[in-house]
Amino acid sequence: MSGRIGQSPVRVDGRAKVTGAAHYASDMAVPNPAWAWLVTSAIARGRIAAIDEAAARAVPGVLDILTHRSMRGEVGDAGFFAGGGYAGSTIRPLQDDRVRHDGEIVAIVLAEGLEQAREAAYRLRIDYAEETPAAGFGSEGAELVSAREASGGSFEDPGVGDADAAFAGAAIRVAADYATPTQHHNPIELFTTTAQWEDGRLTVFEGSQYVHGLKNGLAAQLGLDPAMVRVESPYIGGAFGSRGSLTQRTALIAVAARRLNRPVKLVATRDQGFTIASYRAETRQHVKLGADTDGRLVALVHEGTEVTSRPDPYKVAGTQTTSRIYACPNIRTRVSLLHADRNTPGFMRSPPELPYMFALESAMDELAHAAGLDPIELRRRNDTMREPIKGLPWTSRSLMPCFDRGAAAFGWAERNPAPRSMREGDWLVGWGCATTIYPTHLGAATARVTLTPDGRARVQTAAHEIGTGTYTVVAQAAAEGLGLPLGKVLVEMGDSDLPPAPVSGGSNVTASVCTVVMQACEQIRARLAAAATEGPLQGRDPATLRLLDGALRAPDGAAEPLAAAMARAANGAIEVYAENIPEGLPPDSLKKLYQGKQALGGGLEGKQHVMAAFGAEFVEVRVHSRTAELRVPRILGAFAAGRIVNPRTARSQLMGGLIWGIGSALHEATEIDRRTARYVNDNIAEYLIPVNADVPQVEVLFVEEEERTANPLGIKGLGELGNVGTNAAIANAVFHATGKRVRELPIRIESVL
């Protein structure tokens, strides 16, 4: 199987996954486990007034019931991840009698068997002293603060010029309000934790996008030396950000295992997953665009408010992106947070870009309509090779090539621009498009690569397989670097005992980890080349020798088989460890990596340049003229993301993003009862997602792009690129079909009636 960088080998772990040989965290066998069942709060705000454990303890097999009465003081504060700590939420259950959101963990039942734990949990009686909660927007008692204030001044709203004055004087103006709902990741794999203590050493098996973060955060919470904690997460059944930061359940299960002196397994239910982990925050946004008569932007205002929990200032602040994407001399942005009685939101695929680009790209479509311009032409007129806030250049930017390529493939030239002008029988047909963008993030990374004389390599790095194909692309990097077939490379990841790699978030891993693996391979090549002073390569410049097809080779064709070259250089295997801090990241990045602190750089935060992957998304919608039934018969994206390491897995990521985009635009919303601040559709029967019948045709095109600056391999990362533009592309197509502008997601029948 050919498997060099740029080729499309099938997933190296595909067979293990489809045969069940791939072990996910909760598949890990531990001896004689006890089972944990969570009891979560039935109110969103108040106090636990009384707990009656008698009926629960009478269930056969019950081992213990943990509540705040027995657990107070057991779990320390690991700090909020965005403030230099570890936790995705600083709300620590079972540490006092307060209830701070719907579904907060209020008790854990431990039993010999899962069914016994569940039965006892149902019999546990908890009485609450309820207080009126604030659910979010429009709720009395919710507290609005600016993101700047909430960050202690470290966050600055990007802006330039005088946007309000420029808007007032603009020839063409649009101003509108947009709203995006609460959404939950709902990964197929439930939130599970298995904890096991051996000789004072804690091992946790848990699906995690950041095993080093979880390890260090747990150590901080439990007062342990991090060396005494190991986290294993070899495969993950979906994450999308929900497993990126430490959640509070893990330390509780670890304490339970220590108390029982036996391993404890937890599998939280689907509905508990809505409140014990994170989610995408609900937003309200206001956008004003002013343009001259040619459609050139003269003013851009973007204000957003995001719901968060009472204690944690979680924000996505997508204005960092929307203020930089188009040329515009006058920009004002402002992000605010609304603290309510909710669990803390967090990363969810393309966290900042998805909600904020929905608003901006909808507004751009409104502007195109107001200016009488084709929406692609409007974007062309505002295209720029420098971002407008600081005037920094994009390292590469292929937005318009993506629009051109996508438009040609979609047949955009056939579009009649007038709304309600295209029809097929009873169906109104609409074509819409939107820009997609995802910043190129990079992180410090380390890896160990071992080459043995039989021509096999082992790569060890604590990156994670979140379903994206990381085992495969990392193996491709080593196969390329060492000149080996893909099948001769073994990759080990997802274990905090391995050399640390960054959080599997922000679409940084392929770039960050392949870069450091290639550096390790280069060290091996250099060592072999330096030793080739005799034999067939005698006299060749070591710098020119390459590892290719199982041999060390000179440009003139002279070659020495790998085993022979290795025998000259070493007595047995060659093992190297490499570490890399990408250019532009602070020098303490490696230290932070070892401490498990999330520290990505690059993207739009650079001092010399900014970098991002771009794309153009095209959608056809059909809206039934009498029933308003909405369909998306086809969707197409053209993307440019630098070097594509594996077009097969990259295409899968982008397809998944487009499909998720359809779900986000038309289906997904977590409904909350505004009076009780409780989720009402916390299951995947009522939390709607698209099925195959909702997604007839998805097409992904790659636009070739050479990226020279981001990293030596020219990789931009694209996992989160696909779903960013889809919401707006669909809303814009709905406007084209019906003449009705829908500014609130999801777009449902009642939105267009």
Strands 159-160 and 331-339: antiparallel
What is the C-alpha separation between 659 and 434, in angstroms, rounded? 15
What is the C-alpha separation between 640 and 25, in angstroms, rounded? 35
What is the C-alpha separation between 361 and 195, in angstroms, rounded? 46
Half-sphere exposure of 10 (CA within 13 A, CB side): 7
Q: What is the DSSP letter of 58?
A: T
Question: What does 339-401 look like in DSSP terms, one character per residue?
Answer: E-SS------SSTTHHHHHHHHHHHHHHHHHHHT--HHHHHHHT--SB-TTT-PBBS---HHH
Compute the least distance from the CB of residue 506 to ligand MOS, in Å. Answer: 5
User: Whose Cβ is closer to ligand MOS: residue 430's or residue 467's?
Assistant: 467
Compute the least distance from the CB of residue 349 to ligand MOS, in Å. Answer: 5
User: Whose Cβ is closer to ligand MOS: residue 244's or residue 263's?
Assistant: 244
| Residue 720: active-site member | yes
User: Whose Cβ is closer to ligand MOS: residue 241's or residue 469's?
Assistant: 241
Compute the least distance from the CB of residue 720 to ligand MOS, in Å. Answer: 6
Shortest CA distance to 334 belongs to which of 318, 347, 346, 350? 318
User: Whose Cβ is closer to ligand MOS: residue 347's or residue 687's?
Assistant: 347
Applying CB under 6 A, which residues contact ligand MOS? 209, 239-241, 244, 347-349, 351, 505-506, 720
Compute the least distance from the CB of residue 348 to ligand MOS, in Å. Answer: 5
User: Whose Cβ is closer to ligand MOS: residue 345's or residue 642's?
Assistant: 345
268: left (phi over 0), alpha (psi -120 to 50) or beta: beta
Catalytic residue, chosen from 189, 671, 720, 744, is: 720
User: Whose Cβ is closer to ligand MOS: residue 78's or residue 466's?
Assistant: 466
Alpha-carbon 593 to chain mean position: 18
Please answer whether residues 131 and 50 qualify as being in contact, where contact means their C-beta atoms are separated by less than 8 angstroms. Answer: no
SS3 content of the chain, % helix, strand, coil (to 5): 30, 25, 45
Shortest CA distance to 520 belongs to which of 415, 425, 448, 438? 448
Compute the least distance from the CB of residue 217 to ligand MOS, in Å. Answer: 17
Compute the least distance from the CB of residue 377 to ligand MOS, in Å. Answer: 33
Residue nearest to ligand MOS as judged by C-beta position = 241
Q: Which two tokens stand for residue 675?
A: 């009076």
**What are the angstrom distances between the C-alpha of 650 and each of 3, 472, 576, 682?**
14, 11, 29, 31
Compute the least distance from the CB of residue 239 to ligand MOS, in Å. Answer: 6
Shortest CA distance to 391 belongs to which of 318, 327, 305? 327
Give the number of other CB atoms < 10 A from CB of residue 661.
31
Question: What does 450-484 look like in DSSP terms, one character per residue?
Answer: EEETTTEEEEE-B---SSS-HHHHHHHHHHHHHT-
User: Whose Cβ is closer to ligand MOS: residue 589's or residue 676's?
Assistant: 589
User: Whose Cβ is closer to ligand MOS: residue 9's or residue 345's?
Assistant: 345
Compute the least distance from the CB of residue 327 to ligand MOS, in Å. Answer: 28
What is the C-alpha separation between 3 and 678, in angstroms, rounded? 49
Kindly list the catalytic residues. 720
